[in-house]
């Protein structure tokens, strides 16, 4: 059985994946987690988190939901799941739309 890879190399998927990656990195850093720590909690390989954050891998919906629960994104990650990514949007606008600055981790004021 072959596994189909879902990469975002060009076109709208690339833009969507880049926006999701930017939002994911924001929430992960706000939670005070490294890529390795987040990958251990999901669980997945650290390189998958790195590729999603870099915008070169379109996240599966299950990955987005796990990130939403672990990082307490207020629904931002799940709302941006693989089939619902917003083309060309700014990550900062999505973070604000999700209910604030997303800062709920140990490093937040």
The CATH number given to whatever domain includes residue 26 is: 1.10.260.40
Query: pLDDT tens track of the chain, all 109 residues?
Result: 444 445 545 566 567 888 889 999 999 999 999 999 999 999 999 999 999 999 999 888 889 999 999 999 888 887 876 555 444 444 444 444 444 444 444 444 3
Instruction: Tell if the pTM clears 0.95, that is, is over it.
Output: no
- In order, the DSSP letters of 25-42 are HHHHHHTT--HHHHHHHT
- Rg, the chain, Cα only: 13
Let me know if residue 78 belongs to a domain.
yes
Angle, nearest 10°, between helix axes 61-71 and 12-30?
A: 20
Residue 38: per-residue pLDDT? 97
Q: Identify the domain containing residue 74 by its residue range.
A: 12-82
The total number of structural domains in the chain stands at 1
Residue 48: per-residue pLDDT? 96
């Amino acid at each position: 059985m072959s596994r189909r890879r879902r990469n975002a190399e060009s076109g709208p998927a690339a833009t969507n994946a880049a926006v999701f990656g930017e939002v994911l990195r924001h929430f992960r850093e706000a939670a005070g987690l490294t890529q390795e720590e987040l990958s251990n909690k999901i669980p997945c390989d650290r390189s998958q988190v790195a590729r999603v954050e870099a915008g070169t891998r379109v996240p599966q919906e299950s990955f987005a939901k796990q990130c939403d629960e672990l990082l307490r994104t207020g629904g931002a990650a799940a709302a941006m799941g693989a089939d619902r990514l917003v083309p060309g949007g700014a990550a900062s606008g999505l973070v604000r739309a999700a209910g604030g600055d997303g800062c709920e981790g140990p490093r937040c004021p």
